Amino acid sequence: MTIKTNKHGRFSSRLASAFSEESILLIYDIVLPDSGPTARHATLADMNMMSALASKERSEGEWQALLESAGLRIVKVWKYADETGDSVIVAQRTEAPLGE
């Protein structure tokens, strides 16, 4: 799923309104660190996104802000490849009880 944002960097809150309390959203993407060094592959992917698509890879803080703007919250971020930043973000509606 490609997450399209509006001109203010937010995506539609209609996504969260379609969720039940048990619904979760899984996002597979590169998640960059909020600060500090970044793995070479993740940096190259970020530069490719910038040059080819006028876009960028997001940090965990940027993902959190984006999801919160749509009424969702991050439950967990599984980083399964530190050298690439490949991760799975688990998100739920803000009002839903925290899942596992």
pLDDT digits (tens, 9 = 90+) for 27-65: 999 898 888 777 777 778 778 888 888 878 888 999 999
CA angle in degrees (0–180, nearest 5) for 4-91-75: 145
CA distance 91 to 15: 12
Residue 73, in any domain of the structure: yes
How sure is the predictor about 16, in pLDDT bands with cuts at 50, 70 and 90? confident
Residue 5, in any domain of the structure: no
Q: How far apart are the first and last CA of the chain?
A: 22
Q: What is the pLDDT of residue 1?
A: 46
Question: Which whole number is the average pLDDT over 58-86?
Answer: 89
pLDDT at 90 > cutoff 90: yes
Ranges 7-11, 21-25, 72-76, 90-94: which has the least confidence: 7-11
Residue 98, in any domain of the structure: no
Residue 1, in any domain of the structure: no
User: Dihedral sign, CA of 66, 71, 72, 73?
Assistant: positive
| Residue scoring higher pLDDT (70 or 10) | 70
